[in-house]
């Protein structure tokens, strides 16, 4: 066995790092403060690229066994304009309570030790995104709930103002509704997310036949940020780079960078070499999402996005 690697955070990035490090013969100590399974604010959309990344760490069959929903179409609504397209390859919908628990279970089964408290300085930081220090007023918050009702095979994104709400099926016939909105809009509705959904007439119509299964969860303030020059530890997942969630690429990036970090730590690769690999993989979705968010803020997206073919928009936001 090479050595024991300490990983801070047992979410998708941390559990993937653990599996990759143990594959190379290392022991792993995972520090995770939460008890799994637990819900998490997330659109729970997995782009097709998740398959090779999960297969690499031996978790693809477990993912399929959780019976994720298949997502075959993409629908973008900009108020006046709507675009629908088939996905070139089907995507997946699986709750984070199921996904995070199955990955962590695999890591434990492979020999990872779990602790609630930090016992030594972590070599891998996979503790998720930092809470933004943005001043009140310009802050963004995320929210999510599961609904019952007729499922659909599309991932739907409703853009209104600089807010958006994503809808897609997850396992067991449930539907995830997850949004991101600026503080000013949410304050107008006293953070009553049911009322926020009514702000877009098309979205209000879409959720009419659905019944919410649990109280809304919310998170924030959110900040889209990269820490690609921190060479003090191997950062992975959102702790390395948090990209605008409309891209639906955060989970693929978490599994990918987590696996890279686990392998790099096991081999004692220099952190800058590891970061160079990540930079290549993450640059495209981060840059495209940045441009799109600026367009959204200026309301220019309503004019621009309908002109870009949906397949191209989808491809542009995938990590490599």
Nearer to ligand FAD, 303 or 320 (CB): 320
Residue 166 and residue 246 in contact, taking contact as beta carbons nearer than 8 Å: yes
Nearer to ligand FAD, 26 or 261 (CB): 261
Quick one: which of 231, 252, 227 has its CA closest to 241? Answer: 227
Residue 84 neighbours by CB under 8 Å, 6+ apart? 73, 74, 75, 76, 154, 310
Min CB(276)–ligand FAD separation in Å: 20
Min CB(104)–ligand FAD separation in Å: 9
| 33 forms part of the interface with ligand FAD (CB under 6 A) | yes
* Structure token pair of residue 137: 């007023």
Nearer to ligand FAD, 34 or 119 (CB): 34
Nearer to ligand FAD, 26 or 50 (CB): 50
Nearer to ligand FAD, 26 or 245 (CB): 245
Residue 211 and residue 242 in contact, taking contact as beta carbons nearer than 8 Å: no
| 282 forms part of the interface with ligand FAD (CB under 6 A) | no
| 12 forms part of the interface with ligand FAD (CB under 6 A) | yes
| 244 forms part of the interface with ligand FAD (CB under 6 A) | no
Q: Of 149-178, which residues contact ligand FAD (CB under 6 A)?
A: 178
Q: How many residues bind ligand FAD (CB under 6 A)?
A: 34
Q: Of 59-118, which residues contact ligand FAD (CB under 6 A)?
A: none
- Output the CA torsion 271→274→280→282 (10° steps): -80
Nearer to ligand FAD, 126 or 282 (CB): 126
One of 17, 28, 92, 128 touching ligand FAD (CB under 6 A): 128
| 196 forms part of the interface with ligand FAD (CB under 6 A) | no
Stretch in the footprint of ligand FAD (CB under 6 A) among 17-25, 65-73, 125-133, 310-318 = 125-133
Q: Of 246-265, which residues contact ligand FAD (CB under 6 A)?
A: 248-252, 254
| 42 forms part of the interface with ligand FAD (CB under 6 A) | yes
CA distance 11 to 40: 10
Min CB(157)–ligand FAD separation in Å: 10
Stretch in the footprint of ligand FAD (CB under 6 A) among 39-47, 53-61, 183-191, 274-282 = 39-47
Min CB(33)–ligand FAD separation in Å: 4
Q: What's the longest Cα–Cα distance across the chain?
A: 60
Quick one: which of 315, 320, 317, 314 has its CA closest to 76? Answer: 314
One of 57, 102, 112, 126 touching ligand FAD (CB under 6 A): 126
One of 6, 10, 156, 197 touching ligand FAD (CB under 6 A): 10
Binding interface with ligand FAD (CB under 6 A): 8-14, 31-34, 41-45, 126-128, 142, 178, 180, 219, 222, 237-239, 245, 248-252, 254
């Amino acid at each position: 066995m090479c050595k024991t690697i300490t990983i801070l955070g047992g979410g998708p990035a941390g559990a993937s790092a653990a599996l990759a490090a143990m594959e190379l013969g290392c022991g792993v100590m995972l520090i995770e403060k939460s008890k799994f399974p637990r819900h998490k604010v997330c659109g729970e959309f997995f782009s097709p690229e998740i398959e090779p990344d999960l297969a690499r760490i031996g978790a693809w069959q477990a993912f399929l066994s959780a019976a994720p929903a298949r997502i075959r179409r993409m629908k973008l609504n900009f108020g006046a304009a709507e675009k629908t397209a088939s996905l070139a390859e089907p995507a997946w919908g699986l709750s984070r309570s199921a996904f995070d628990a199955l990955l962590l279970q695999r890591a434990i089964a492979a020999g990872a030790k779990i602790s609630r408290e930090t016992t030594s300085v972590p070599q891998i930081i996979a503790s998720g995104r930092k809470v933004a220090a943005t001043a009140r007023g310009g802050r963004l918050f995320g929210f999510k709930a599961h609904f019952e009702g007729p499922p659909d095979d599309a991932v739907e994104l409703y853009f209104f103002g600089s807010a958006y709400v994503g809808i897609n099926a997850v396992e067991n016939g449930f539907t995830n509704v997850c949004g991101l909105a600026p503080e000013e809009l949410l304050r107008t509705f006293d953070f009553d997310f049911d009322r926020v959904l009514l702000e877009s007439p098309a979205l209000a119509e879409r959720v009419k036949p659905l019944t919410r299964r649990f109280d809304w969860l919310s998170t924030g303030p959110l900040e889209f940020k990269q820490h690609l020059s921190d060479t003090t530890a191997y950062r992975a997942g959102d702790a390395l780079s948090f990209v605008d969630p409309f891209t639906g690429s955060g989970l693929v990036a978490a599994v990918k960078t987590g696996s890279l970090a686990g392998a790099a730590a096991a081999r004692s690769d220099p952190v800058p070499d590891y970061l160079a690999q990540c930079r290549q993989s993450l640059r495209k979705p981060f840059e495209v999402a940045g441009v799109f968010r600026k367009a959204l803020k200026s309301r220019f997206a309503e004019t621009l996005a309908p002109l870009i073919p949906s397949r191209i928009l989808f491809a542009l936001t995938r990590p490599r």
